[in-house]
Every structure is written in C-alpha cells, then in structure tokens.
Structure 1
C-alpha cells in the first residue's frame, strides 16, 4: 500500500465528529473493507471511544489509590487501572490493523471529569468517583451491546467481547463501594448531551507526538490481548 493511500485512509478513519453519547445512532456507512469484514462509522467510533475512555479512567484509578478513603474505593481504582490498560492495548492493536487513527488525549468533557475529581477530597472524592464512573461505564456498556450485535468486522467484535467483560467488572467494583448515587448515575447515563460536538470528541493526535501507552500494573490479573481472526 502506497504512502498516499495510507494517508488518505488514516484521515478517513479518524472521526471529525465523534458522538460518544449517541454512537448507537451513528450512520452504518461502510468506510473501509478490510479482510476482517466491512468497517462502519459506528465500528470506528467504538474503537476510538474505548481508547478515549481509558485515557481518562486510568488516571482516575491512580487518583483513587492515592485519595480513596476506603478499601473498596482503592479496589475500584486498581480494577480501573488494570482493565483500562488491557483495553488500551487491545484497542491500539485493532486500530493498527484497521488503520484507525487513535487519540492521545480524552475529550474536553472527559478532561473536565478528571479535573473535578482531582479537586475533590475525602468522602466527596469517593462518592463523586463512584457515581461518575458508574454512569459512564453504564453508558459505554450500551454502546458495546449495540456494536457487538451489528458489526460485521471480526476485530471489532473481539474488542467488544473483551470490553464487555471489563466494563461489567468496573461497574461491579464501583457498585461494591456502596457509594454510587444511582439516581444521579441514571440521570447522567440517559440524559442527552447538550455540549457541542468538539467537547465530546477526543482531539486528533499531533503528527510528531508519540503514542501514549497505558502501562498495566505489575500484578495485572488480565491476560494479554487476544488476537482476532
């Protein structure tokens, strides 16, 4: 494949407007036809969304280890770090095989989540972290179900399978903190976003910027990313 074609494909396969909260309504337009099956806009957006989610959840997990006031909150932080590092590796592998350009930063909205939790302390941090992450993981679980049942691409299907188990684990450990405000979490999960598209879209990486890698913990309990056929 020539350099010009690679550049064109890479530009095509980075979303100009990623509707993270509305991915289920993304057009099913086929944007590439690799050997692993047709790739749609929804498939591409899902791969990018998995990456973006890890880019903000992983540092929140690290913050939970430092600032969490209960064992359950610190346990949730460990699971976030472990799971998001695993999904980051899997999503980057899939992106490389499908020529999808991946972000190096989360969306502005996701960056605001991190800033808010960094400003919290004590029990306020514990409660806000548990509720916010429960809402965002609940939202992406719905996305996983939609992509898993509609994609015709085997790599995207395998990523959805892996994400499903890890996101369910995150939801479980967050609920086990006993601190989730379920009314607030459900409101955040189901309310349509009012932010402009650029606030919910991760910025494309700078051409000279090395790819950010989320390092798995030394005591990771998750196996390496499986390859999909």
Structure 2
C-alpha cells in the first residue's frame, strides 16, 4: 500500500486521517481499557500517587511514538536533501531516545506493560517515508510529523494538568518540551502545508482501534531500547531523584499542590 501527502485520499489508511496517537490503548488481555472522558478510573494506588487509565495510556502513547519516530529520524538523516529536515531528524532521534529512557524507567514502577512495536497506522507512516525519496520524502516527513505531534500536544497538556501521579507528571513535563520542540523544527523546514495538516490533525478518527493500538509484546520478549545518539543533548527524567525524595519524605518538584 502506498501513501502520499500530495495525492488526495491516498495518504489515508482506510478513511480520513485520524489522530495518530489519540486512542492508543492495549487490549483487555493486558488490563488496559479505554478511559471514559467523564470519569477517569483509578486502576492502581502507588506510592507516587493514584494511577488512572489515562495515565497508563499516556505512558504507552509516548513509548509507541518513539517506536516509529526514532527510526523515521534515522531515515531522515540518510535520505533528506535539505539541512532543515536533517536538523529535524536529529531532534527526533535525540528527543525520543530520552523520552523512551524515562518510559522504560517508570513503567516497571507503575506496573505498565510497554509495547515493542508501533501501531499499524504508525508503521504505515514508516513505510511511506521508507518508500519516499527526494523532495517527496522531505514534504511527507515534515507534514506527517507536524500532524502527529500536533495531535498529541493537547493530550500531553491534559495529562500534565490532571494527573496526580508524580512519575507520570514528570514524563508529561518532558514530553511537553519534546513535542513542542519537534513541532517547531517541522515548521522551520518551510514544508508544512498548514491547511491540510491542521485538517487532518483535527478530523475525527475513523480507523478501527486495532489500527491505532500497538501490539503487546510476547511473553518474555526483551524490551526494545532506543539508544541515545553519541551527540545527545536531551536528557531523561531523573527518576532516582524523585523516588529517593519521596522515600525520604522530602519535597519533590511537581509532586505537591500549587497555587496561582
């Protein structure tokens, strides 16, 4: 199957473009359900605060995003014909390696199972960009990634403003900075078609949940690691400082209530 940003309808997988990361949840076998918009069920009480379905799904979304955007960044470093897209590719690899480290550190603490493979929709994005070349690659790269990052940006803000879990809040802080950075570098390529991108970004999803959900790992399967580049500038959350601070009863940044 071939997808192209410039061919009407061909970029769609089974219908209008859905929000790339708007509904990623695991099947019931892994204990993940779709959180209600009106009630956010608490699924576990942890020493870092209650963990809700939305919190857990957010950690999975961040992990799944890295599983396709990190390799796409590596492809961009090899195939792009413009300096701006090469720069954006470096930001993808750097930022998602750091986010992935945080996800892998907090997941076992919160008893969250992480995927090792992106969703079918996300894998289709990788297929598109792998098949592209030249100017088509650069254009698809900038528009696909601007759309997907724009889609997840509001989700990051919602989790950051509502979660009561210190570890999830720390991940949301890091994700907010990373997603905004990636939106910015995509826009700086000068290749983003905002009319098309924003339309696709805000269109209601039409794909089945199976296309939006990363498959669960096989039993005993090693966790895939996204290795930081040698020149990495992004850093993961210092989970040790958070856990040590809470164990000692000290104040932890972002863990208490604030006013104003």
Asked if these proteins are the same fold (TM beyond 0.5), I'd say: yes
Q: Which residue, out of 165, 183, 189, partners 1:177?
A: 189
RMSD of aligned C-alpha atoms?
2.0
1:187 and 2:199 are equivalent in the alignment:
yes
1:126 and 2:138 are equivalent in the alignment:
yes
Q: Distance in 2 between matches of 1:136 and 1:17?
A: 22
1:153 and 2:165 are equivalent in the alignment:
yes
Q: Is the 8 A contact 1:24 1:146 kept in 2?
A: no
1:109 and 2:115 are equivalent in the alignment:
no
How do residues 214-225 of structure 1 correspond to structure 2 at under 5 angstroms?
214-225=226-237
Q: Distance in 2 between matches of 1:27 and 1:49?
A: 20
Q: CA deviation at 1:225?
A: 2.7
Q: Distance in 1 between matches of 2:100 and 2:219?
A: 20
Q: CA deviation at 1:223?
A: 2.6
Larger radius of gyration between Structure 1 and Structure 2: 2
Q: CA deviation at 1:73?
A: 0.4
How do residues 39-58 of structure 1 correspond to structure 2 at under 5 angstroms?
39-58=51-70
Q: Distance in 2 between matches of 1:123 and 1:150?
A: 41
Q: CA deviation at 1:92?
A: 1.2
Q: Which residue, out of 49, 59, 69, partners 1:37?
A: 49
Q: Distance in 2 between matches of 1:62 and 1:24?
A: 36
Q: Distance in 2 between matches of 1:15 and 1:121?
A: 41
Identify the structure with the greater helix proportion: 1
Q: Alignment partner of 1:117: what SS?
A: helix
How do residues 156-167 of structure 1 correspond to structure 2 at under 5 angstroms?
156-167=168-179
Q: Alignment partner of 1:222: what SS?
A: coil
Match of 1:199 in 2: 211
Match of 1:135 in 2: 147
Match of 1:4 in 2: none
Normalised by the length of structure 2, the TM-score is: 0.79
Deviations 1:19-48 (A, max 9, x none): xxxx78384001000011111100000000
Deviations 1:5-31 (A, max 9, x none): xxxxxx98946556xxxx783840010
Q: Alignment partner of 2:65: what SS?
A: helix
Q: Distance in 2 between matches of 1:127 and 1:197?
A: 28
Q: Is the 8 A contact 1:26 1:42 kept in 2?
A: no
Count the aligned residue pairs.
Answer: 216
1:211 and 2:223 are equivalent in the alignment:
yes
Q: Distance in 2 between matches of 1:24 and 1:63?
A: 37
Change (3 A) 1:15 1:77: farther
Which consecutive residues of structure 1, in runs of 5 or more, have no partner in the other structure?
1-10
Normalised by the length of structure 1, the TM-score is: 0.89
Q: Distance in 2 between matches of 1:163 and 1:13?
A: 27
Q: Alignment partner of 2:115: what SS?
A: coil
